[in-house]
Each structure stands twice: as C-alpha cells, then as structure tokens.
C-alpha cells in the first residue's frame, strides 16, 4: 500500500472500506500467481505461545489463520548461476513480499523481494557480480554508500539481519578485514568482509502505514488481546487495583516487577559489543 493512500484516508474505516483495502493489498502481488510453489512450502505448525509442558510461555499468541511456511533462500549459495524473476508473491509469515526465482538449471527458489525488482529481471550471486538490485556478493566487494539487506552475521550462515519490509543497511566505511554498516536502528557496526549481503532495499515500504482495521483481523494474525496493567486486579499486575482510573502510581513495571520502559536490557558482557562503532539512540 502506498503512503499516499493512507495520507488521504486518515479517518476510521468502515467494513466496506476495509474490504476495498484488502483488494488493494492483493494488487501488490504483481504476478498472476495465486498458489505458492508447491516444492517450496511446508506445513507451519501452531504453538499458540505454549511450551513443551503446555503452559503459556509467550503471552498474547493464538488464533492464527492456518498457513504454509515458504522456504526462503537466505544463504544465496547458488553461485554464478543466473536466475529470472518468475513472480512476486505475498508471504503471510513476514511483512516483506517474496520473489520466485527460476535458475538456468531449472531449480526454483524464493528470495526476499527488493524494491524495484520486477518480473522478468535477472539476478545472480557471485564474488564479483554487477552491483545491481537483487544481486548478492560479499560485503568487501560492495561500494561505499550502497544500500544492502539480508546481511550475514557469520560468513556462510545465511542472512540474519535487515530482512523487514522497507529496511536497508548502508555501507559507510571499510577497515582492514571489516566493513562498517549503518543499520536501520542507526547503529554503526563492523561486519566481516566475507559476509554476504544482497544489493537494494527490501520492498513493501508502505507496510508501516497499513491500518489493521478491526480486532478480528489481529486475531487471524495470531495476536491475542493485551489487557492494560491498570485495568487488572492487584494480584495480577503491579499497576492493578485502586478506585476508578487511578493510573500506574509508580515507576512502570512488567507483570513480574521488572522496569517496563526505558531500561537498557543489552548484556554488558556480550562479545559483539567490541564490534559496535556507534550505539543506536
């Protein structure tokens, strides 16, 4: 969905408008593919936030719509073989779209869809390939100032970060065996030159402007309601109890009494601290 659409429609929406919105969302699927590639889907089991004993270990999960998991090629290990974009599809398991690639040897794979990559475009992964949207190569070979996504943390393990809709990291410097990347959070961090990344920005930039519209759609996304602490019983939450709307009445806390807002939670002894050039704000 484009940002212009939401700018023109700031008012609450009716059921009919919501239905029209869903049709517009489906128009983002640029190809005429309706069903996903059968060889690249597996059943996605529901857990509803429960652990192996059946207890709730993650709150506010459950009620998700039945769906398949699409197997995404995050490693881009099909080297020096050209592929053609056969279709661009919606993926219910992530906020980015995915692109179906057919390689010269006949194999098909899904990748994250970069912005401006179209059906019929050709992409390739290799050490010294052209700097073009959708191509994958080591960070050491990417020019300074170029946006990248699907970045590896350890060489060969596949892309782990910068995979969300509309995100990209920028190459800002090169130093010995490291490349400095400015991440979407604003943090500047060192990565090994041998780590692979894909050129371009992830597509579906308007995702952050999307209006969910109603509680039922949130449930189908697998997200159950969250009750405010101040609306609960004092036995259930530190903010609970009191007559009428009494507010929190203390420093904000989690249900378990830990600081809820503003406290830094990153481990001070984490080994990757030495790779951070500039902390995020």
Q: For residue 281, what pLDDT band results from cuts at 50, 70 and 90?
A: confident
Average pLDDT over every residue of 251-260: 96
Q: For residue 144, what pLDDT band results from cuts at 50, 70 and 90?
A: very high
Q: For residue 129, what pLDDT band results from cuts at 50, 70 and 90?
A: very high
Per DSSP, 151 falls in state E
Residue range 29-84, pLDDT digits in tens: 555 566 899 999 999 999 999 999 999 999 999 999 999 999 999 999 999 999 99
Q: How far is CA 55 from CA 51, 59, 60, 73, 227, in A?
A: 6, 10, 13, 33, 19
When the pLDDT of each residue in the chain is averaged and rounded to a whole number, the result is 91
The pLDDT > 70 percentage for the chain reads: 90
Q: For residue 168, what pLDDT band results from cuts at 50, 70 and 90?
A: very high
Gap between the Cα atoms of 142 and 148, Å rounded:
9
φ/ψ (deg, to 5) at 72: -100, 140
Average pLDDT over every residue of 95-102: 96
Helix (H) or strand (E) holding 5: helix 3-8
Q: Which domains does the chain have, with CATH numbers?
A: 3-209+270-278 (2.40.50.140)
28, pLDDT greater than 70? no
Among 190, 166, 159, smallest CA distance to 176 is for 190
3, pLDDT greater than 70? no
The pLDDT, as a whole number, for residue 96 is 96
Gap between the Cα atoms of 263 and 150, Å rounded:
29
Could you tell me how far CA 155 lies from the centroid of its own chain? 21
Gap between the Cα atoms of 200 and 137, Å rounded:
12
219, pLDDT greater than 80? yes
Average pLDDT over every residue of 11-28: 67
* Strand ordering across the sheet containing 169-175: 136-138, 196-199, 147-149, 169-175, 178-182, 188-192, 276-278
Residue range 181-204, pLDDT digits in tens: 999 999 999 999 999 999 999 999
Contact assessment for residue 137 and residue 194, using Cβ atoms and an 8 Å cutoff: no
Contact assessment for residue 176 and residue 165, using Cβ atoms and an 8 Å cutoff: no
The pLDDT, as a whole number, for residue 95 is 95
């Amino acid at each position: 969905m484009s940002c212009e659409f939401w700018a023109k429609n700031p008012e609450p929406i009716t059921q009919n408008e919501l239905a029209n919105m869903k049709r517009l969302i489906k128009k983002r699927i640029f190809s005429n593919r309706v069903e996903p590639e059968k060889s690249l889907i597996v059943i996605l089991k529901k857990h509803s936030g429960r652990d192996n004993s059946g207890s709730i270990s993650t709150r506010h999960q459950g009620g998700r719509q039945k769906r398949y998991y699409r197997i995404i090629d995050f490693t881009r290990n099909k080297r020096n073989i050209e592929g053609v974009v056969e279709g661009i599809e919606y993926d219910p398991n992530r906020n980015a779209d995915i692109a179906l690639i057919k390689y010269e040897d006949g194999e098909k794979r899904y990748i994250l869809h970069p912005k401006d990559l179209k059906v019929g475009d050709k992409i390739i992964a290799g050490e010294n390939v052209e700097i073009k949207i959708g191509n994958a190569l080591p960070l050491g070979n990417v020019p300074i100032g170029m946006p990248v996504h699907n970045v590896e943390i350890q060489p060969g393990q596949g892309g782990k970060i910068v995979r969300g809709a509309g995100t990209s990291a920028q190459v800002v410097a090169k130093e010995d065996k490291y490349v400095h990347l400015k991440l979407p959070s604003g943090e500047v961090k060192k990565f090994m030159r041998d780590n692979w990344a894909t050129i371009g920005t992830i597509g579906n930039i308007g995702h952050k402007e999307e209006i969910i519209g109603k509680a039922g759609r949130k449930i189908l996304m697998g997200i159950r309601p969250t009750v405010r602490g101040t609306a609960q019983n004092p036995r259930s939450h530190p903010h609970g109890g009191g007559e009428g709307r009494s507010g929190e009445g203390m420093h904000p806390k989690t249900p378990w009494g830990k600081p809820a807002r503003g406290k830094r939670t990153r481990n001070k002894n984490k080994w990757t601290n030495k790779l951070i050039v500039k902390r995020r704000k």
